[in-house]
Amino acid sequence: GQNIDQPTEMTATEGAIVQINCTYQTSGFNGLFWYQQHAGEAPTFLSYNVLDGLEEKGRFSSFLSRSKGYSYLLLKELQMKDSASYLCAVVDSNYQLIWGAGTKLIIKP
């Protein structure tokens, strides 16, 4: 079966750095997405990785290791507005998007 694992909830302090991990076992791999979803709102696209390595976009970076079936989202200089759920999603061999359950990130002052 296809499976994506990410922690249910994480807590971090404003101004700090947090890393949200995602591991996956899917039938094929055609890329991995990270989305941010604030409570009561629809998800918004953050990043896409298909090759190994780190992609940096401002305060957010995403890393991929295809051999390990592993990705992480790194958030730097945390702000209160970063409190949200972060969803990991993998594109499988049929180009279907397999969603993780999301990690709820709580930022404390």
Partner 1 sequence: GAVVSQHPSWVICKSGTSVKIECRSLDFQATTMFWYRQFPKQSLMLMATSNEGSKATYEQGVEKDKFLINHASLTLSTLTVTSAHPEDSSFYICSARVNRGGNQPQHFGDGTRLSIL
Footprint on this chain of partner 1 (rule: CB under 8 A):
30-31, 33, 40-45, 48, 50, 87, 91, 94-97, 99-102
Distance CA 50, CA 78 (A): 26
Shortest gap between Cβ of 47 and partner 1 (angstroms)?
9
Q: Closer to partner 1 by CB, 40 or 109: give it.
A: 40
Shortest gap between Cβ of 37 and partner 1 (angstroms)?
8
Shortest gap between Cβ of 91 and partner 1 (angstroms)?
5
Distance CA 91, CA 28 (A): 8
Q: Is 77 helix (H, G, I), strand (E, B) or coil?
A: coil
Residue position matching structure tokens 């807590």: 11
